[in-house]
Amino acid sequence: MSSMGQEQVRASHILIKHEGSRRKSSWKDPEGRAIAATTRDSAVGRLRAFRSDILTGHARFDDVAASHSDCSSAKRGGDLGRFGRGQMQKPFEEVAFALKIGDISDIVDTDSGVHIILRTG
């Protein structure tokens, strides 16, 4: 029973913030001007294009994260390190734990914005 509580995954993600995001600023957009002008649909469209480029081998996940992610983890290629349950927003956690290592999620919505998640460990 206690071992279940210790379950951890390692994951990277690409976050695109939009007008519905809880915090409308990021390292890329400190004033939040672009974020406030971004609809969820356009954020999802950008992420789908990135995901397609990564899956077809036209781009590397960490490179896309470094250039485009609105999370400060961009500086680490999107790497969030290891985390257990209860540390991330619930929709993010559920998808990250369900992925197999090396798999990339579909679009995940959280209060932060829209994400794609790569499970790395």
The catalytic site residues sit at 13, 71, 89, 112, 115
Return the half-sphere exposure (C-beta side, CA atoms, 13 A cut-off) of residue 85.
Answer: 8
User: 99 CB contacts (<8 Å, ≥6 apart)?
Assistant: 9, 11, 105, 117, 118, 119
Contacts 24+ apart (CB under 8 A), 36-42: 40/109, 40/114, 42/18
